[in-house]
Structure 1
């Protein structure tokens, strides 16, 4: 039966009659009741209460031990009430019913006295009467009494000792918890430390309930402070206490503190159960210490505990996140051997781990296995596999999984759709990407990221018409572009030099209350620099500062790099010092820009000075730094210093890239030192670098210049064997070498091979062919090549006309030579000194 004390209206009336005296009376906390004092003052009979059974006492002799006084004007004394309560000390419900009955008596008012604390002790001893205890304390604490928490606690303990209740942990726990619930945290702490000072805080239950109340009230800092004192004062606590405090620390992200609690308890000999170990394992995983987590799992097994499937799942998933697939797979086997089955979370995590290692086939095989074993894949499982397929170019399989997912009644999320679209775009399947995009738009699931994917794709390739189509559709469908959308589109326009459109987008962006950020301004500043609009770039930078947009290191580097690119490296160097005063931290990239700028301007000494300054400032040169220096030194024919930089890279452990080797190889080829060039070519292979087409072309040019056409053809054959693509420069160089050596047929064969690969000749190739034919006196072949140029709409230049004119002079056909001179003039080509040398002397110098 529910006690009337649990009713708000009833409990508040009872508390009023129980603890509040009339407003005209002075409160005090003696053992005398208001009725006792009223009797001594000869109060009117109306102030007396008749406690005879015939009064309002419940019928049926419900309170047989509540004996009234024998006097005709019987008065309920304080002692009388206490004695009646004590007679039912083991029957909390009867005590409540008695006070309900007292509440109904006309004019009955009772002060705080032993009766109140006896009732609290009786209710506190019962595990089923916490609500009644709570209501009494709660109403008391919300009243006007100035009784401190410690005073209330002292009275409660004093009463429990005088009436033989003993110090019951439940009662004290109830009291401390109610202080916390009532937000009287200071009283709660005072009571706790009062118990400690009296030497009676020896109950683990009290400690745990109190700390639990603090944690639940989000007073975690107070809980931590009190627990620290509990440990320091050697107050009893157990594994539950440790687990509670560890969980509270983890909830606040205080991972080290949680670990400290665990280790201190373990070293202090506290009996720690599986739950504490599981909490410690979760903490270790959050700290990314999966080896520690695995060790704790082993420790649990060593103690005879079987770790739960849940804790295995946590550790396995964190191992995968840290790319430790070997450990994840070992733990998966342990989990299964411990009697647990593979669950979908573990399986999905392992699938992701496999494909992140580049082992997509194992991901797909595991998917098939878990489906065969009865697990039903969910959206997350499909999302992981589809993303893996898209990342690795398995677009057909990705699409199959997408359709399989839909046929299973699982609606693909926009995340999955976006993964597929990015995959199709990445592997140049534009039609499929657009088909999926249109489907997503029609289904109403396309979000701003879906549109951004396509806008970015078109902008990256300079296809702004396509980007504008997607942009317009986004507006038509009511999808608001984000700041990222505008930045992508602004970047696309800047890349093709369309700065007016980019600035219009900036204005449109701001009109939509999307404040341009430092990325937006950095893109625009870089765009102006690339067009050579230095003043506009710097003006925009100053505007950015003026409106309060704080530049980051990327913005500072954009300005420095831009100035270097437009030949203002000295100004860039000065700007760097000013930017440092604004909080900029120059990095290796910054120094690389300035070094490259000076080298581009031919100021090698200045570049070397910046290099030394960079090293002195504590910045270790990287591969780009050294490549810039080596390339610049080689082009300025300072080979010895370039080799010194190269050797310095070796000693500092800096990796060398293809660009550096190509610079060194090219330098030695130009010096006709093919032995050194070949040595660097071999060194490049030894360090694991694969030569590019450009590197092979450099070697072929080097041998061609030495008229070693056999070696050049050998490099060409090796190039094709290694699967390196031969480009126009490759064929043009070889054809030139073959013609110079008199191998006209081989040159013709190579030319036909080039055409068969859809590699079309350019003006340089035609110049080589015509010169070769003219040198051999094959003027008809030379003229046929000229006709081919006309058919391909390739206009001959002065060099080609000079070569043909010289060729006809050589074979004595002066009429044709002068005709070509007139044709040259008709085409708007201005004869140069070489032309007139031919006409006067009959040959090219």
Structure 2
């Protein structure tokens, strides 16, 4: 009889593919062809005769006699479990029969177990799994895995790790990563030994395909289950962390691996050093480097480079240079990255000469400096104040054919501006514009400097040029120009720029608002400052400590110190701000400006009680206020406290103390402090010199004042208007009119123009010495300069003419004063009545007006 069998299309395509490529059976091959049996049909299943003892393996069975059912094939395969070749040939025959392997694959699983248990046939099991995995129509890897487990347990094969590792490997080859992961997890669940190379291959493939999170999860499971892994496993996961910038996680992996007893290789040590350097964990990097050397490995040039760069970044040049020498002694060559980094390290420590020496040695190392090298050296020269050398290096770079960029040009511009060489900076700036390299950072540097120097017209022109050249201003650009206008009282202009931000798609930040708030306070407009603060908060921008301190300082400056103190208390209680020394200093300064010394001292005590240590500004502010209020003894007590706390006095602290002593005419104490300044290595500033000269003049020691003036000039401190006015006043009082006239001429020659106080000093001095006509010429000079003389000047001249008996001119000056809209004061009428200017009629003491 002939059986009706299903079509061949029900055979899994992956088996057909495998058959066509590797297992085709020739009809003429006696070893693979099944002959028509010559013996009687096989005995029934309950027969004790071995089914393979009959001629099933070498004859073509008649479908009426033999049905290739799953169980039958399994039985036959099991009977040849010790003969993999026969089992393999039988499976080849059976799988081509219709009706075989419809949906279940137990024979396939049995065959895999038979093959894998034979060292000579394991390659066939891998080949079968490879073709299974490459087919789109085969069962899922989970089905195969479970089938292998079931057959292994049912037929006493056990769970040989090889076949399961082969299965994972085949899934990976076919890029069936999800199947590989499923098998991987299933092996863990069944405690089947995972081969470390297979595990590492899977993790590496996951990382390369961007499935870092999955790889990390698998690694976590591996570690938590105590599964064996090696340094390669750790290396793969660390590189995955590096790819995603997870440096802390990479360090954690490294530390866990060391704690887990993983033996590191050179690659993992190098990776560990790199990660530690990126995290600026130099101690860990150096420890790993030492372990690496103790293990017999020579660190690579890249490893040395990484750790040298990290040491330079931390400012540890001693260690960086030692490692450089070690790198060279191990046979590595100096590279440009290390050389450039060391140059940067040198100049950051102010050792520009060593940076330049290393630059000159590049040729000896066979290295050619690149743009980065030049950029580092040029910035180093500028940072260390040697802009001439920076310019030479810049020109050398251009001669080498290396084009400049915005970074280099910005470094040069900042260098020139730092020493107020605007013309040179503008030359570089114009060159950058012409070459098209000028970016917003270059423009910002120029604009910020011009704003700082009060050259707002030039700053505006530069801004207009930036916009015209298509450079889009950033919020930093706006903050710079707004700050410049605020600092110079141009609040309307500052607000105009502020209003442009929305249309430029820029959002004001806390810096912007803080600048505007400070600007309003500087103008004395506390209401608008507070409104701007409210606008900032309503915009969802949280004030910073700087903002709060700006508000407290501003309120203190406009006479609202008590309100500022209450505000500070509310802010601190609300947890919005931790009080700082700056906050208390502003309150102390505000109370002192309001002549409320007791409140200032109360704030000082509150500050100390709250655990905040006063700084040099605190003491200087208090000492200055106490000296001005004639509390010099209390000021000296604070000075002693300051010294007991080992707080070093700065030039401002010395200046306020010296000024206080000079105003008390205690020139001995003032001179002692002046000498102390020189002993501690502080250079006296202009304020100190002016205070000392004024003090000596007040005690009629003109000679000492002139000696100080010569010393000041020798020290390179330029005289200002106050210096000249003070000295001219002293010389006129001393009767040295010619010398006073020479100083006045010298002052004009330096472009220093006299003000009301200078003219008052001249008129008063000349009149007192009987030179009323020369004094009157000073009055005429003021007319020519469209300056209105003060009542004090008229009083001085009227008294002078009275003294000479020229009453007509005295009364004419009185009438002229009225015509000028000046109102005569009590001193005027005293002169007209008594005919002379009283000694205290100046109203400012016998010295020059302050």
For 2:25, the equivalent position in structure 1 comes to 57
1:841, 1:386 → 2: CA distance?
73
For 1:460, the equivalent position in structure 2 comes to 452
8 Å CA contact retained: 2:33, 2:60:
no
For 1:194, the equivalent position in structure 2 comes to 189
Partner of 1:801: helix, strand, or coil?
Answer: helix
For 1:286, the equivalent position in structure 2 comes to 278
Deviation at 1:310, TM superposition (A): 0.6
TM-score normalised per structure 2 = 0.81
For 1:481, the equivalent position in structure 2 comes to 473
Greater Cα offset, 254-263 or 696-705: 254-263
Distance 1:129 1:162, change over 3 A: closer
8 Å CA contact retained: 1:351, 1:364:
yes
1:497 to 489, 500, 520: 489
Partner of 1:563: helix, strand, or coil?
Answer: helix
1:412 aligns with 2:380: no
Partner of 1:777: helix, strand, or coil?
Answer: coil
For 2:557, the equivalent position in structure 1 comes to 565
Q: Deviations over 1:414-435 (max 9, x none)?
A: 3223333333444444444444
Deviation at 1:312, TM superposition (A): 0.9
Give the gaps of 5 or more residues in structure 2: 1-8, 35-56, 839-850
1:71 aligns with 2:61: yes
For 1:763, the equivalent position in structure 2 comes to 756
Q: Deviations over 1:382-432 (max 9, x none)?
A: 222232233344444444444444454433333223333333444444444
8 Å CA contact retained: 1:529, 1:563:
yes
1:323 aligns with 2:315: yes
8 Å CA contact retained: 2:280, 2:310:
yes
Deviation at 1:844, TM superposition (A): 0.9
Deviation at 1:251, TM superposition (A): 5.8
Q: Deviations over 1:812-843 (max 9, x none)?
A: 33344334434444444333222222232221
8 Å CA contact retained: 1:522, 1:558:
yes
1:136 aligns with 2:132: yes
Greater Cα offset, 608-617 or 775-784: 775-784
Distance 1:545 1:12, change over 3 A: farther
8 Å CA contact retained: 1:458, 1:466:
yes
2:58, 2:126 → 1: CA distance?
30
Distance 1:434 1:156, change over 3 A: farther
1:71, 1:722 → 2: CA distance?
119
1:229 aligns with 2:228: no
Partner of 1:162: helix, strand, or coil?
Answer: coil
Alignment of 1:431-830 (within 5 A): 431-580=423-572, 581=574, 583-786=576-779, 788-789=781-782, 794-830=787-823
Deviation at 1:544, TM superposition (A): 2.7
1:85, 1:322 → 2: CA distance?
71
TM-score normalised per structure 1 = 0.82
1:601, 1:164 → 2: CA distance?
92
8 Å CA contact retained: 2:343, 2:377:
yes
2:526, 2:492 → 1: CA distance?
15
8 Å CA contact retained: 1:176, 1:210:
no
Q: Deviations over 1:256-307 (max 9, x none)?
A: 6655665665577654332233233223323423344335434433444321
Partner of 1:326: helix, strand, or coil?
Answer: helix
8 Å CA contact retained: 1:417, 1:436:
yes
8 Å CA contact retained: 2:77, 2:91:
no
8 Å CA contact retained: 1:181, 1:213:
no
For 1:382, the equivalent position in structure 2 comes to 374
Distance 1:161 1:406, change over 3 A: farther
Deviation at 1:444, TM superposition (A): 3.9
1:220, 1:548 → 2: CA distance?
41
Partner of 1:370: helix, strand, or coil?
Answer: coil
Partner of 2:501: helix, strand, or coil?
Answer: helix
Alignment of 1:239-258 (within 5 A): 239-247=231-239
For 2:6, the equivalent position in structure 1 comes to none
1:154 to 149, 152, 158: 149
For 1:26, the equivalent position in structure 2 comes to none
Q: Deviations over 1:636-695 (max 9, x none)?
A: 222233233323333334333222221111112222222222333333344443211101
8 Å CA contact retained: 2:12, 2:137:
no
1:460, 1:375 → 2: CA distance?
42
Q: Deviations over 1:205-260 (max 9, x none)?
A: 45544655665531354245335436xx4x54443344445555666666666556
Alignment of 1:829-844 (within 5 A): 829-844=822-837
Deviation at 1:488, TM superposition (A): 2.5
Deviation at 1:355, TM superposition (A): 1.7
For 2:177, the equivalent position in structure 1 comes to 182
Distance 1:801 1:129, change over 3 A: farther
Q: Deviations over 1:467-488 (max 9, x none)?
A: 3333333333333332223333
8 Å CA contact retained: 1:214, 1:222:
no
Q: Deviations over 1:324-370 (max 9, x none)?
A: 22222222122112211111111111121122122333323322321
Partner of 2:661: helix, strand, or coil?
Answer: helix
8 Å CA contact retained: 1:386, 1:401:
yes
1:305 to 297, 306, 313: 297
1:387, 1:647 → 2: CA distance?
44
Distance 1:214 1:673, change over 3 A: same
For 1:364, the equivalent position in structure 2 comes to 356
2:267, 2:581 → 1: CA distance?
50
Greater Cα offset, 158-167 or 659-668: 158-167
1:141, 1:597 → 2: CA distance?
86
1:262, 1:221 → 2: CA distance?
14
RMSD of the TM alignment (CA)?
4.4
Greater Cα offset, 164-173 or 825-834: 164-173
Partner of 2:324: helix, strand, or coil?
Answer: helix
Distance 1:181 1:813, change over 3 A: farther
For 1:349, the equivalent position in structure 2 comes to 341
Q: Deviations over 1:761-798 (max 9, x none)?
A: 33323332333332222335434544555566554322
Greater Cα offset, 315-324 or 732-741: 732-741
1:115 aligns with 2:108: yes
1:786, 1:611 → 2: CA distance?
49
8 Å CA contact retained: 2:216, 2:237:
no
8 Å CA contact retained: 2:628, 2:660:
yes
1:795, 1:495 → 2: CA distance?
29
Distance 1:101 1:335, change over 3 A: farther
For 1:45, the equivalent position in structure 2 comes to none
Distance 1:596 1:303, change over 3 A: same
For 2:41, the equivalent position in structure 1 comes to none
1:11, 1:455 → 2: CA distance?
81
8 Å CA contact retained: 1:762, 1:794:
no
Distance 1:141 1:642, change over 3 A: farther
Deviation at 1:174, TM superposition (A): 2.6
Partner of 1:456: helix, strand, or coil?
Answer: helix
2:175, 2:24 → 1: CA distance?
39
Q: Deviations over 1:683-708 (max 9, x none)?
A: 33444432111012112222221112
Distance 1:572 1:163, change over 3 A: closer
Distance 1:663 1:437, change over 3 A: closer
Give the gaps of 5 or more residues in structure 1: 1-9, 20-48
